[in-house]
Structure 1
Amino acid sequence: MRGGILPIAGFAGIVGSIASVVGFSTSNSRPDIPALTSATHTWSDIWLPNQISAEFECNGSVWNPKANSRKGSFETIGTKFNWTLKLDSNDGKLLKEQGKINKVIDINIARNNNNEKIWPIVGGNANETLRVWVYPSKNNLAIEMKFVEVPSMSGNFAYISTRQGSLGTLNCSIDNSLILKTSSGGIIYEQDKQVWNNKVGRISTTRKLDVEISLGACKPKEGGKELECSLKVMSKDLFDWSKKVNSEATITLSQ
């Protein structure tokens, strides 16, 4: 690991949302919905898209161990931070019955120019961490990567190294309304890479990206038999992904 490979360091969703449709009112999570006429409708079915996704552009300085004749150096790069979540008919059933569904999402961070994943960054005797932070005071979503060099062995002796430091930070351009006003910030996603005997032993997700999905604002579709509703996708009390999710749900009404 010497020779420059490492840097020097030291539910209110359904009720509230359908009620926002002009001409409709609700009283519970499986409501009767009075239409613009005197007839009373109930929603009989809900259709969800096969998948939903979100993406941010992120830029920053990241360590490249292959640069500078493989001595390594930091370089400024542009990346895409994104995720895709598949949905099925059972998700629609649960959303109809419970008013919300909870999902776990895997994220992807790749270079803009070739879609190459940027993490993990180094091999050898370096443990690595990747953390996605929400910083309300900075209106920022940041991806921070660090390393800790682990002991190296020589015969019966272990040379303990305390080298640790940053492998880079990426800052993502976001609308400040995506950070919830009640949020105090924190980590929303974390991965660790651990090594044994100079080989990568395990990459694990130590903090998963948990989201809650419910219905957002709805509007009647032509013909009046269906509602088209946006999807609210929230990371607990921290972050609102909804403006980045363009897919919609369709509710079928029946008299």
Structure 2
Amino acid sequence: MKARTLILAALLLSGGGAAAQQTAPVETTPPLYQGAPPQRFIVRLVSEAEGIVLAEEVKAAELTPVVYVRTVIDTTGRPSVWRYMDRTCEGRNFRDAEPASEATRRVLEQALDSLEAWTPATRGGRPCEAELTLQLRLPVEKIARRQEGDPLLFMGETPDRSFHKWARTHMRYFANSSSAVNEGVLKVRFRVESDGRITILEASDYPDQKMVRDVVRVIRKSEGRWTPRRIGGKAVPSEYTYRVYYTGS
């Protein structure tokens, strides 16, 4: 009995007992994007998506302002999983947010394909997968302002008033016309090209074609007095519909 006690004491003192064995913690490092935490990735992704929206003229109204995504950065540094989380999901994928629209998903995934790879996470010095939850905020209001750009102007003013006033003083035909056949609304749709030229697109089927021709003539005469819309500082074609309300005599 005394011998057994001495052997057990020797084991404990030498660290040979099971109770004395300890496992060293395995060192882990998180994934990094361009040497920084995930926030840099979020900024780059949203910025790239904004550029795609503007280049492809995706309407701001079609975008979802706030999107939650669960992704897995694999051992090569690429997102191998890209799952949207919203109020239609259950369990840990539930987020109190509207589902991402089709347009939002398309531009985000297109932007994702253009970004650089991550530095993968490591465990014990070896690359390993890492799961991340990201909140993405698309600058929808900023995009809408850029898409609206500067308005179409006639002689430096809003055309709804300035063009109507100018056109009335240049019309010839129905100033002396009193025929009841002229009652109604005459509409002419035209486009102000980016260089200020006028392109007639459509004229309503108005009973008095002489009046239609006179209105078209006046619209053509206005060429050079329009300032096209500008988006992102670039002039773009703009459509406009001119309406003449006539009640006869």
TM-score (ref. length: structure 1): 0.25
More helix by share: 2
State the structure with bigger RCO (CA 8 A, min sep 6), 1 or 2. 1
